[in-house]
Amino acid sequence: MSSTMPQPETSPIVACTVSRDVQNFDLLIEDMELALGENWGDLGFAEALAFFGQPEAKSLEFIALAMDETDEENLVLMGEIIAQAKARNIKVILIAEDVTPASLHSLLRQGADEFVPYPLPENELSEAIDRVRAAEKQRVSGGNTPRLQSDEQKEGAVIVVHGLAGGTGATTLAVNLAWELATQDKENGPSVCLIDLDLQYGSVATYLDLPRREVVFDMLSDTEGMDDEIFGQSLLTFQDKMQVLTAPTEMLPLDLISSEDITRVLDMARKHFDYVLIDMPSTLVSWSETVLNAAHVYFAAIELDMRCAQNTLRFKRALQSEDLPVEKLRYVMNRAPKFTDLAGKSRIKRMAESLSISIDVHMPDGGKPITQGCDHGVPLALSAAKNPLRREIAKLAASIHELNSNDAQAA
């Protein structure tokens, strides 16, 4: 044990006991020494609060907050210590001797991560340390990643969304369609994987408030070496309902990945999930063709303006000149005029006729709540459930799921 106030000398202090007098907890001293050697210090209650603000506290992984019945008068101070520790991502292991359940409950409610009774049962402290360390590792790596079973063979349906001009609502559609599909069936919801292939400006992570992580880049840059486990680690679970492959942390050139990479990633995703949703970049890239070929449905998002009309024409021509399967395209008119807007409706009709396309899906303008929902990082079903845009996307998801279920039954 080091002297009263932690002195970072050679190796940093990774933990501190915090108590009225640590000598009352000699078993704790022994177990701390066993687990951490010299790399810990001990602090009094008031000292702890002062120490948190100092640079040396940066290396702290956890505090072992030790108390007995005498300290129950000081619950407010202890609550403050827990709050301050949590604010700095320092974990709290509560060590308590003869403390009433009510006090314990209150301290755990305030955020203590672990509770170990004193006298310490054998190995309990070191196991609690392992658990707080594992939790921290998971927090830093960005939360939940799924464990995928390597023997799965789902052959999921691939649904792609591609905005034919910037800002046409492609990502909004991809994210919310993924969520609506994942929540189609309360008990036995289909499994859904949402993949952001807009490697540069991908905003799926923003719309679902997920961190962008290095592992995504690692996985994409070596798809040959990718297996079920590596793929699983590059995914993040969103609200226990769906898995998401966000865009990588850094902005990457779109040709960083090849058609072979895309094929491997899509095959892997299809193997594990009933639905694989893809958000494409607006730009056509060398692997666009691969995605189109793999797609079961390919939604092309447009709006009612000249820019989208011209882009659609060029997009269609590009596909036709390469003999690509244009029949997979389903045009989605975003911010479509209302049912009652007859002039708007006839403009859509004229646009469809002049481009020789059929516009099958009409998404209404949902106003400000849409952008607010996106900014809050939750699907519309959770932020604006009654919004007309959400209703339309939910309808679309239901019809896709019904079709897919019928196909599966027929097969």
Ligand X SMILES: Nc1ncnc2c1ncn2[C@@H]1O[C@H](COP(=O)(O)OP(=O)(O)OP(=O)(O)O)[C@@H](O)[C@H]1O
Contacts to Mg ion by CB under 5 A: 170-171
Exactly one of 131, 335, 347, 391 binds ligand X (CB under 6 A); that residue is 335
Asked if 370 interacts with ligand X (CB under 6 A), we say yes
Tell me whether residue 118 or residue 299 sits nearer to ligand X (CB atom). Answer: 299
> Which of 141, 237, 263, 282 forms a contact with ligand X (CB under 6 A)?
282
- Is 305 among the residues that bind ligand X (CB under 6 A)? no
Regarding 181 and contact with ligand X (CB under 6 A), the answer is no
For position 389 contacting ligand X by CB under 6 A, the verdict is yes
Give per-residue burial for 89-100: e unless 16+ CB within 10 Å, then b. ebbbbbbbbebe
Binding flag, residue 167, ligand X (CB under 6 A): yes
| Contact residue for ligand X among 17, 19, 84, 172 (CB under 6 A) | 172
* 282 contact, one of ligand X, Mg ion, none, CB 5-8 Å limit per kind: ligand X
Contact yes or no for 333/170 (Cβ under 8 A): no
Identify the CA nearest to 348 among candidates 307, 171, 357, 174.
357
Size of the site for ligand X (CB under 6 A): 23
* Of 103 and 282, CB closest to ligand X: 282
Partners of 67 in beta bridges: 96
- Which member of 117, 365, 382, 391 binds ligand X (CB under 6 A)? 365
Q: Does the footprint of ligand X cover residue 358 (CB under 6 A)?
A: no
Would you call 134 exposed, middle or buried from its count of C-beta atoms within 10 A (0-12, 13-18, 19+)? exposed
366 binds ligand X (CB under 6 A): yes
Contact 111/86 with Cβ under 8 angstroms?
A: yes
Closer residue to ligand X in complex, CB, 366/379:
366
> What are the DSSP calls for 220-239, one per residue?
HHTSTT--HHHHHHH-EEET
Sort strands 236-238 and 242-245 into parallel, antiparallel or unpaired.
Answer: antiparallel
Q: Which is nearer to Mg ion, 264 or 330 (CB)?
A: 330
Q: Compute how many other C-beta atoms are within 10 angstroms of the C-beta atom of residue 377.
A: 16
* CA nearest neighbour of 333 among 208, 107, 168, 111: 168
Long-range contacts of range 392-397, CB-CB < 8 Å, 24 or more positions apart?
392/361, 392/362, 392/363, 392/364, 393/173, 393/176, 393/177, 393/180, 393/363, 394/180, 396/177, 396/180, 396/361, 397/177, 397/180, 397/181, 397/184
Q: Is 150 in the site for ligand X (CB under 6 A)?
A: no
Phi, psi of 40 (to 5 degrees): -145, 160
16 binds ligand X (CB under 6 A): no
Binds ligand X (CB under 6 A): choice among 6, 41, 146, 169:
169
The verdict on 283 binding ligand X (CB under 6 A) reads: no
Q: How far apart are CB 174 and ligand X at their closest, in Å?
A: 8
Taking a C-beta distance cutoff of 8 angstroms, is the pair 207, 175 a contact? yes
State which residue, 222 or 341, has the beta carbon closest to ligand X: 341
- Residue 261: name the closest of 314, 296, 223 by CA: 223
- Contact segment (CB under 6 A) with ligand X among 132-140, 249-257, 311-319, 366-374 equals 366-374
Site string (100-139) toward ligand X, x via CB under 6 A: ----------------------------------------
Would you tell me which residues interact with ligand X (CB under 6 A)?
A: 163, 166-172, 198, 201, 203, 282, 301, 334-335, 363, 365-367, 370-371, 374, 389
